[in-house]
C-alpha cells in the first residue's frame, strides 16, 4: 500500500479520535443490511455527536446511527457505511438519561435509552409513555426513526403525536432543536414530525421530549372468534364489528384482529382500560356477542401487539369498514398470518396514495379521499366567482397578494383553498 493511500485511509480515523469520542474498529456484528462499517463511535452527548458529524462531512464519510439494532434491516441497505454512531452511551446535559417532570406529565430523554427502561422509570410516578411497540424492545431514537406503534395508537396516537420536542444533529454537524418541555408549544418549526419515520436519513436524533399519560388503573380485553369469509349468515362480520367498536361509546383503547389462517375466521380483541374498565368491557362484550361468544379476560391474548412473523412484508392502511374486503381479496393459500390494528388518521385528506418501499417493508396509503377532495376543489374552483385583488401581484394558487415596489402588500390564503385536517380512523395490518 502506497504512502498517499495509507495516509488517505488513516486521516479520517485520526480526525475522529481527535474529537475525544471513543472509536473502535467495526466487527461483523456491526453490519447494517449486510454492509460492514469501518468504525464504530460511542458518543456520550449531543456535542460529541455534532463533532463526529463535522469530521464525517469534512472527510466524506457515510454515517449510520444505531440504537439496539432491532430494526436495522427495515430500511434499504446503505450504499456504504464508514461510521456507525452507537447511541447506547448518550446522556443528557446533566449526565442522566431521563429528566422527568411528573407534575407536567412531560419527560425529556436521551435517544439511546431503551423504552422498557424509560417506562420502568416513569412507572414509579404512575405514568407511562403510551407506545406499545410491536417488537417490545428498542430505543427511543430507533422508535422515532422507524415510527413504529402498537395497537394503542388508536387512543393515544403514534410517536409523532406524543413527541413535543426533539434535538437532532444534521449532516454538517449543526445541532437543531424544536419544541420544548411544555405540551402547548407553538414556537419554531415542528422538526419532530419531520424526523419521525425518517429512518436516520435526515440526521441523528439525540434527545426527545414526550408528553406522558397516567397508567390506567385497570385493563380488560374482550375477545371473540368470528366466522370465516365463506359464512353465509355474516359474510361481512369483521368489517361491521370493527366499525362498531371504533365508534363505540365504551371507548376501547385498541382493537386488534388476528387472522392466522386467511381461509378461516379471524379473532377480534378490544382493549378497555381506565376508570370503570369492567363495566365498559361488559358493554363491549354485549356488542361482540352478536357475532360470536365473546369473553372478557384480565390478560392480553398471546398474539396481542406482537408482529405476525419474523419478517414483515406489507403494511396497509385503510378505513375500518374496508379492512375485511381488502384482506379477503388479498388472501392467498400460502399466506401464513395476518393481523390488523386499528389506528388513528391524523392528516389532511390528501396523503400520497403511492407506497414507499423500505427494504422488505412497503407502506401503502389509501388515496381515495385525497382524489375525491381534489375533484371537489377543482369543481368548486371552476364555478367560483373571481375574488377582488388587493394591491400587489398575484401570489399563486393560495391567492392574496405579495409586497411589491409600490408599497406594502398582504399575504392571506383564501380559506376555501387551505386543506383542513380530517380526523378519522384507519386500520393497519401486516402480512407475512
Give pLDDT tens digits for 46-68. Answer: 999 999 999 999 999 999 999 88
Strands 361-365 and 314-318: parallel
Instruction: Give the whole-angstrom CA distance, residue 148 versus residue 365.
Output: 16
Q: Are 47 and 21 in contact (CB under 8 A)?
A: no
Cβ contact 170:106 at 8 Å: no
**Do the strands 63-66 and 83-86 form a parallel or antiparallel pair, or are they unpaired?**
parallel
| Assigned domain for 299 exists | yes
**347 and 245 assigned to the same domain:** yes
Q: Are residues 304 and 158 in the same domain?
A: no
What global pTM score does this model have? 0.71
Are 287 and 427 members of one domain? yes
In a domain, 247, yes or no: yes
- Specify whether 227 is located in the same domain as 357: yes
187 exposure class (CB count in 10 Å sphere: 0-12, 13-18, 19+): exposed
148 and 44 in one domain?
Answer: no
Strands 83-86 and 39-42, sheet pairing: parallel
Contact 192, 166 (CB under 8 A): yes
User: Do 72 and 109 fall within a single domain?
Assistant: no
Give yes or no for a contact between 232 and 284, defined as CB atoms under 8 angstroms apart: no
Tell the residue number behind the cell numbers 380526523, with chain if given. 423
**Alpha carbons 74 and 199: distance in angstroms, whole number:** 9
Q: Is residue 389 part of a domain?
A: no
- Structure confidence at residue 375 (pLDDT): 55
Q: Final residue of a domain: which of 89, 106, 136?
A: 89
At 276, is the secondary structure helix, strand, or coil? Answer: coil
Residue tagged 419544541 (cell numbers): 179
Pair (57, 143) in one structural domain? no
C-alpha cell at 119: 417506562
Shared domain check, 249 and 136: no
Confidence (pLDDT) at 311? 59
- Which one of 197, 214, 231 terminates a domain? 214
Quick one: angle between helices 277-288 and 237-246, nearest 10? 150
Residue 74's domain comprises 18-89
Give the up-direction half-sphere exposure of residue 330: CA atoms within 13 A in the CB hemisphere: 19
Rounded to the nearest 10°, the torsion over CA 24, 30, 36, 38 is: -10
Number of domains in the chain: 3
What is the pLDDT at residue 259? 80
Residues 229 and 351 in one domain: yes
For residue 410, is it within any domain? no
Short-list 255, 221, 219, CA closest to 238: 255
* Structural domain contains residue 178: yes
Query: Residue 80 corresponds to which cell in the numbers above?
Result: 456504504
Residues 297, 180 share a domain: no
Tell the residue number behind the cell numbers 380488560, with chain if given.
Answer: 220
Q: Is residue 32 part of a domain?
A: yes
Q: What value does the CA radius of gyration of the chain take, rounded to a whole number of Å? A: 25
Task: For the chain, list residues with pLDDT below 50.
Answer: 5, 332-368, 370, 377, 381-432
CATH of the domain at 45: 3.30.43.10
- Can you tell me the distance from the alpha carbon of 167 to that of 209, in angstroms, rounded to the nearest whole number? 9
Residue 251 placed within a domain:
yes
pLDDT at position 257 is 84
C-alpha to C-alpha distance for 104 and 210, rounded to whole angstroms:
11
Cβ atoms within 10 A of the Cβ of 386, count? 5
Residue 72: which residues within 8 A CB-CB, separation 6 or more? 32, 33, 66
**pLDDT (tens digit, 9 = 90+) per residue, 1-33?**
555 545 556 889 999 999 999 999 999 889 998
Whether residue 286 sits in one domain with residue 427: yes
Long-range contacts of 61-64 (CB under 8 A, 24+ apart): 61/12, 63/171, 63/204, 64/32, 64/37, 64/200
The H or E element that residue 339 is part of is strand 338-348
259 lies in some domain: yes
What's the CA angle centered on 203, arms 343 and 345, to 5 degrees? Answer: 15
Q: Are 351 and 267 within one domain?
A: yes
Domain boundary among 67, 89, 111: 89
Amino acid at each position: 500500500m502506497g504512502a498517499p493511500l495509507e495516509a488517505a485511509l488513516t486521516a479520517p480515523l485520526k480526525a475522529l479520535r481527535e474529537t475525544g469520542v471513543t472509536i473502535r474498529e467495526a466487527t461483523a456484528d456491526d453490519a447494517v443490511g449486510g454492509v460492514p462499517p469501518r468504525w464504530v463511535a460511542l458518543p456520550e452527548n449531543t456535542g460529541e455527536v455534532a463533532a463526529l458529524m463535522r469530521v464525517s462531512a469534512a472527510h466524506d464519510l457515510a454515517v449510520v446511527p444505531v440504537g439496539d439494532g432491532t430494526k436495522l434491516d427495515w430500511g434499504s441497505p446503505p450504499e456504504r457505511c464508514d461510521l456507525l454512531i452507537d447511541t447506547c452511551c448518550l446522556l443528557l446535559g446533566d449526565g442522566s438519561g431521563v429528566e422527568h417532570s411528573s407534575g407536567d406529565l412531560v419527560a425529556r430523554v436521551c435517544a439511546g435509552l431503551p423504552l422498557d427502561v424509560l417506562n420502568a422509570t416513569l412507572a414509579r410516578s404512575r405514568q407511562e409513555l403510551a407506545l406499545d411497540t410491536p417488537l417490545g424492545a428498542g430505543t427511543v431514537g430507533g422508535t422515532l426513526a422507524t415510527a413504529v406503534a402498537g395497537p394503542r395508537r388508536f387512543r393515544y396516537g403514534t410517536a409523532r403525536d406524543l413527541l413535543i420536542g426533539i434535538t437532532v444533529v444534521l449532516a454538517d454537524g449543526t445541532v437543531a432543536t424544536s419544541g420544548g418541555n411544555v405540551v402547548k408549544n407553538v414556537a419554531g418549526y415542528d422538526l419532530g414530525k419531520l424526523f419521525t419515520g425518517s429512518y436516520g436519513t435526515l440526521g441523528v436524533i439525540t434527545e426527545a421530549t414526550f408528553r406522558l399519560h397516567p397508567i390506567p388503573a385497570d385493563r380488560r380485553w374482550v375477545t371473540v372468534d368470528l366466522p370465516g369469509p365463506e359464512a353465509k349468515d355474516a359474510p361481512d362480520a369483521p368489517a361491521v364489528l370493527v366499525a362498531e367498536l371504533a365508534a363505540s361509546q365504551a371507548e376501547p383503547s385498541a382493537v386488534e384482529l388476528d387472522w392466522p389462517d386467511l381461509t378461516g375466521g379471524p379473532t377480534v380483541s378490544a382493549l378497555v382500560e381506565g376508570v370503570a374498565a369492567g363495566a365498559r368491557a361488559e358493554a363491549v362484550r354485549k356488542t361482540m356477542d352478536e357475532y360470536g361468544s365473546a369473553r372478557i379476560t384480565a390478560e392480553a391474548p398471546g398474539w396481542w401487539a406482537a408482529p405476525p412473523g419474523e419478517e414483515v412484508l406489507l403494511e396497509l392502511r385503510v378505513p375500518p369498514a374496508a379492512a375485511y374486503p381488502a384482506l379477503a381479496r388479498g388472501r392467498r393459500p400460502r399466506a401464513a398470518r395476518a393481523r390488523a390494528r386499528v389506528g388513528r388518521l391524523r392528516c389532511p385528506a390528501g396523503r400520497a396514495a403511492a407506497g414507499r418501499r423500505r427494504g422488505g417493508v412497503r407502506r401503502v396509503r389509501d388515496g381515495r379521499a385525497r382524489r375525491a377532495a381534489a375533484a371537489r376543489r377543482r369543481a368548486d374552483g371552476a364555478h367560483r366567482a373571481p375574488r377582488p385583488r388587493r394591491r400587489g401581484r398575484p401570489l399563486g394558487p393560495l391567492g392574496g397578494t405579495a409586497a411589491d415596489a409600490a408599497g406594502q402588500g398582504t399575504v392571506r390564503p383564501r380559506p376555501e383553498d387551505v386543506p383542513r385536517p380530517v380526523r378519522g380512523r384507519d386500520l393497519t395490518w401486516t402480512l407475512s
